[in-house]
Copies of this chain bind each other. A is one copy, B any other.
Amino acid sequence: MSRPLKVAVAGLGTVGGGTVKLLQANAALLAERTGRPVVITAVADRDRRDRGLSLDTYRWFDDAVAMASDADADVVVELIGGAGGVALKVCEAAIAAGRHVVTANKALIAHHGMALAAAAEAKGLTLGYEAAVAGGIPIIKSLREGLVGNHARRVYGILNGTCNYILTQMRETGREFATVLAEAQALGYAEADPSFDVDGIDTAHKLAILASVAFGCTLDFDAVHIEGIRHVAAVDIAFAQELGYRIKLLGIATQTEAGIERRVHPCMVRLDTPIAQVDGVFNAVVIDGDFVDRVVHEGRGAGERPTASAVVADIADIARGRNVPTFGVPVATLHAAPAAPMSEHRGAFYVRLMVLDRPGVFADIAAILRDHDVSMEAVLQRGRAPGEPVPVVMTTHDTAEAAMVHSLVKIGELGSSAEPPRMIRIEPF
């Protein structure tokens, strides 16, 4: 059997602990499958508290950057987190010292992935980040290798378990976002500061990475249009159900004539699509390729053990000496595809107005939509309470985003709406 692969783990939080556990528990299996022992030689964390892990035989570093430089390791696993700071320094130090890097850090890859990949590539090193997108689902491998023969037409998915949990709970209980968020926080399913999750930023990190791999384009986080789920109301979820849809926060990257469209926002998806059925904390990613057509991957998108599974897949590839360019092709050949602006997006829309029941309001609204070439498919109105705002819901046929947005501004200016008009895009999957 070949020389052991030596691994240093930076960060002993949830995922770090899971990775140590997996490498210990399934050591014999990994040795059999990779043809060599995979052994931890060092760990780093600022906090030396007891974690219930057997760490005695590893060299301990309080300073993860020092470990990345100095440890006796072939691979440094960065599980500290954060879009820059120590995590970035650990990766840079590891590459400078000639070590492969494996990380679960989507923010880091979304912001610094290009530079890190170029540095790793220049030295013939691997920068693995399977765990950064959709947790345990081996989606990076499927995209880069399993579906390598396909031009991707579209990649989309449920990439944030917290949002999917909240939306699922809202549907099942009929409660509002704020209530369900508070519960999720109490249960540990949402962070004290939930912004990264519920405002769509975490999803956008992952989508930016997926888009780069799928389309061979430069990784451009700023090109992602981002909306979160704070404005999704219980009444929207009820109407969605009535119209035959589910509301999901999706990240969607599409090749269009105007360039690559990258967007994160709540979507209505038909009930009979695979993605509509993915509930709770589960993630799902759909790849639509020109030969393979639609392939759906579903699994746990976070958590100690599933994320460790993905981290170890990258380590095993390194152990086997298997290397694939970080984003599917060498960094220098990633093309700077134009970002298709959101204003040029076209699609169907769900629009909800809270209308004060005054004569003539609907005629005014209809005139605005007509003037903007927005063609209505259906109108639903529930209840009628004189003096109280009632929800009026419309769905449109295929419409230009810019026209829809302008219409909603004009409708808002009518003064007949008790709150700003709300819009959710309907996806034609």
Note all chain B residues with C-beta closer than 8 A to A138.
Answer: 141-142, 145-147, 295
Q: Which of A6-36 contact B (CB under 8 A)?
A: 18, 22, 25-26, 29-30, 32-35
Question: Complex: how many Å from CA A84 to CA B63?
Answer: 60
Are the CB atoms of B297 and A149 closer together than 8 Å?
no
Q: Tell whether, in the assembled complex, residue A300 and residue B309 are in contact, meaning their CB atoms are under 8 Å apart.
A: no
* Cβ 8 A contact of A18, one of B32, B34, B291, B298: B291
CB distance from A166 to the nearest CB of B (A): 19
- Asked if B316 and A149 sit within 8 Å, CB to CB, the answer is yes
Contacting residue for A141 out of B141, B292, B316, B320, CB 8 A:
B141
Q: How far is the CA of A330 from the CA of B229 in the complex (A)?
A: 49
A289: contacting residue among B145, B150, B290, B309, CB under 8 A: B309
A26 touches B308 (CB 8 A): no
A274 interface contact, C-beta 8 A: yes
Whether the pair B295, A296 counts as a contact (CB closer than 8 A) is no
Which residue in B22, B145, B309 is a CB contact (below 8 Å) of A316? B145
Using known A-B contacts A150-B26, A313-B149, A333-B32, determine if residue A306 contacts B292 with beta carbons closer than 8 Å: yes
Residues in B whose Cβ lies below 8 Å from that of A142: 138, 141-142, 146
Contact across chains for B32 and A293 when beta carbons are under 8 A apart: no
Report the contact-size class of chain A (Cβ under 8 Å from the partner): 35 or more
Name the CB-closest residue of B to A330: B35
Query: In the complex, how many angstroms separate the beta carbon of A171 from the nearest chain B beta carbon?
Result: 14
A380 interface hit (Cβ, 8 Å): no
CB-based contact B291/A22 at 8 Å: yes
Report how far A243 CA is from B141 CA in the complex, Å: 39
Contact status B293-A296, CB under 8 Å: no
Provide the bound-state CA to CA distance between A142 and B30, in Å.
15
CB 8 Å contact bits of A115-150 with B (1 = contact, 0 = none): 000000000000000100000111001101111111
Q: Do A291 and B136 have beta carbons less than 8 Å apart?
A: yes
Q: Which residues of B contact A150 (CB under 8 A)?
A: 26, 309
Task: Specify the chain B residue showing the minimal Cβ separation from A277.
Answer: B277
Stretch of A49-57, A74-82, A321-329, A351-359 at the chain-chain interface: A321-329
Q: How far is the CB of A217 from chain B (nearest CB, A)?
A: 12
A225: interface (CB < 8 Å): no
For residue A149, which residue of chain B has the nearest CB? B312
Residues of B within 8 A of A290 (CB): 25-26, 305
Using known A-B contacts A26-B150, A138-B142, A274-B277, determine if residue A292 contacts B296 with beta carbons closer than 8 Å.
no
Least CB separation from A30: chain B residue? B149
Q: Which single member of B29, B297, B313, B330 contacts A296 (CB below 8 Å)?
A: B297
A142 to B310 Cα, complex, angstroms: 11
Other A-B pairs beyond A25-B290, A34-B148, A291-B312, 8, CB < 8 Å: A22-B291, A26-B151, A137-B295, A138-B146, A149-B313, A292-B309, A293-B299, A322-B322
What is A's interface to B at a CB cutoff of 8 Å? Answer: 18, 22, 25-26, 29-30, 32-35, 130, 136-138, 141-142, 144-151, 216, 274, 277-278, 289-300, 305-306, 308-310, 312-313, 315-317, 320, 322, 324-325, 328-330, 333
Listed from nearest, the 6 A-B pairs whose CB atoms lie closest are A138-B146, A149-B312, A295-B299, A292-B309, A136-B292, A296-B298
Can you pick out 7 interface pairs between chain A and chain B where the beta carbons lie within 8 Å of each other? A25-B290, A141-B142, A142-B146, A291-B312, A293-B299, A295-B299, A322-B322
